[in-house]
Amino acid sequence: MIPAPVKIIVAGGFGVGKTTLVASVSEIPPLTTEELLTEASDGIDDLAGVEGKATTTVALDFGRITISPKYVLYLFGTPGQERFWFMWDELARGAIGCVVLVDTRRLDSSFAAIDFFEQRRIPFIVAVNCFDDAERYAEDEIRAALAVPPHVPIMLCDARDRNSAKLTLIRLIKHAMSELPVG
């Protein structure tokens, strides 16, 4: 039996950890399109809160994880910078859902991803990537700050940790399944 493909998107703002999450959970060496940040991005990419960031995704990240003999997850990480958002529609086509990864140090970079998936009615969860130097907030504070509807799950994760990334994907799959039409 050939396992059925299940497409999942990992989206969010610039520098929130999308590439890291895909890489931490992928059973294959992930395909990344990381390029060095150059002077051309000066004044375009906001490095506030991520001053040490030296690379950026310019197209997509891709990883795979087999979750059972019946299903294989194909993970697609979106580029975070606004100038690459034109690719999101193609990346999202056929996806069962999305992990919107957020960084509490820069919540404003999360609104575009949340709006994108809400407008297209693609199920999503919000996963707060717990950076070492970021303040911790309660779920209700994050929900209010991001104006996330009550039915959308919010969870904490560490994109560097394989088990945490797996739990995030499980939460998304359960949420996406709960959003399926009855009948």
pLDDT band at 53 (very low <50, low <70, confident <90, very high): low
Number of domains the chain is built from: 1
> With DSSP H G I counted as helix, E B as strand and the rest as coil, what are the percentages for the chain, rounded to 5?
35, 25, 40
Supply the DSSP symbol for 121.
T
Residue 152's domain comprises: 4-30+78-179
Report the number of secondary-structure helices (H) and strands (E) in the chain: 5, 8
Q: Is residue 40 part of a domain?
A: no
Q: Is residue 53 part of a domain?
A: no
Provide the pLDDT for residue 74: 97
Instruction: For residue 61, report the phi and psi dihedrals to the nearest 5 degrees.
Output: -115, 150
Q: Is residue 43 part of a domain?
A: no
Nearest-angstrom CA–CA distance, 31 and 84: 17
Q: Is residue 39 part of a domain?
A: no
The answer to whether residues 77 and 18 touch, using CB atoms and an 8 Å cutoff, is: yes
Q: Is residue 8 part of a domain?
A: yes
pTM score, whole prediction: 0.85
CA atoms within 13 A on the CB side of 10: 34
- Closest listed residue to residue 76, CA positions, set 181, 174, 172: 172
Q: Is residue 69 part of a domain?
A: no
Q: Is residue 155 part of a domain?
A: yes
Q: Mean pLDDT across the stretch 9-22?
A: 93
pLDDT band at 69 (very low <50, low <70, confident <90, very high): very high
Task: Please provide the average confidence, as pLDDT, over all residues in the chain.
Answer: 87
CATH no. for residue 155? 3.40.50.300
H or E element, residue 72: strand 71-77
| The token pair that represents 127 in the structure block | 């996963």
Q: Is residue 91 part of a domain?
A: yes
